[in-house]
Amino acid sequence: MKHNPFVTNGLSIAFGLLFLLSLAGQAFSGVAYFNEGQIASGLEEISFWQYVTSSSFAVDVSENWQSEYLQFLLFIVLTVWLVQKGSPESKEIEKRGVQSDEEELIGQFSKNESPKWAKAGGFRTAIFSTSLGLVMGTVFVLSWLVQSVTGFSAFAEQQLASLQDTGTWAEYVVSPEFWNRTLQNWQSEFLAVWSMVILSVYLRQRSSPESKPVGEAHDATGASN
């Protein structure tokens, strides 16, 4: 039965819109906040375009992106081997570790509708088999690098406004400012994963794929709607 594409892609459309709206909201509130500081210092206000192309905005965006992608990278990779009894976020206890080719439907065990690189074997299947972690990891590394560059630029700008020397990028990436920004993001991401892993053992959300069925036992691992 054919469904409307807006129905079959509803989840990505909804979160895509939420992302765009909240990014826009961050930009508008950010330029207002920045200009409050400018007025207080007797300096000129800047335009919306000047703000969204500034290092201040870029570091505020990238520091959040890098921690989200690190969260996904670690969660995707660690759940291959680590399990949590009773959590729908976990594989069944007996399935911890790397699954067989037969279970993963690759090579000779692939089906007609399997992706091309799952059937191909060799290097292509090896890459495709880890493509999710590779892309998450790449986006994490790139956005953390962007955070370091834009963070240094924003930090340097503040230093100069306070009549202090800027230091260098190499000094910045081992500075308390950089690591404070990084770790305050990491702690919330890891808390979110931990909360979800544990709370989903004992709590339910009817009909959500993130939850076990309401009547499923607390110690049923890997079950979901």
Chosen residue from 163, 176, 206, 215 binding other proteins by CB under 8 A: 163
Say whether residue 222 binds other proteins (CB under 8 A): yes
Closest to 152 measured CA to CA, from 30, 28, 63: 63
Say whether residue 94 binds other proteins (CB under 8 A): no
**What's the min distance (Å) between Cβ of 209 and other proteins?**
6
* Range in contact with other proteins (rule: CB under 8 A) among 21-29, 119-127, 161-169, 175-183: 161-169
Chosen residue from 27, 149, 198, 220 binding other proteins by CB under 8 A: 149
Say whether residue 63 binds other proteins (CB under 8 A): no
Torsion, CA 89, CA 92, CA 94, CA 99, rounded to 10: -70
Q: Which is nearer to other proteins, 180 or 188 (CB)?
A: 188
- DSSP of 9-34, one letter per residue? THHHHHHHHHHHHHHHHHHHHHHHHH
Alpha helix (H) ranges present in 82-163? 101-104, 116-120, 122-129, 131-161
**What's the min distance (Å) between Cβ of 185 and other proteins?**
11
Chosen residue from 165, 170, 174, 215 binding other proteins by CB under 8 A: 165
Which x/- pattern, by CB under 8 A, does the window 174-213 give for other proteins? --------------xx--xx--x------------xx---
- Here the tokens at position 151 are 């963070």
Closest to 53 measured CA to CA, from 79, 77, 78, 34: 34
Non-local CB neighbours of 147 within 8 Å, separated by 6+ positions: 59, 62, 63, 66, 181, 182
Which x/- pattern, by CB under 8 A, does the window 1-40 give for other proteins? -----------x--x------------------------x
Number of H helices, E strands in the chain: 10, 0
Residues of span 95-114 touching other proteins by CB under 8 A: none
The structure tokens 């920004």 sit at 181
Closest to 69 measured CA to CA, from 22, 139, 158: 139
CA distance 54 to 137: 26
Chosen residue from 13, 24, 145, 183 binding other proteins by CB under 8 A: 145
Contact residues for other proteins, defined by CB under 8 A: 12, 15, 40-44, 46, 53-56, 58, 61-62, 65, 68, 71-72, 75-76, 79, 88-91, 131-132, 135-136, 138-139, 142-143, 145-146, 149-150, 152-154, 156-158, 160-166, 188-189, 192-193, 196, 209-210, 222-224
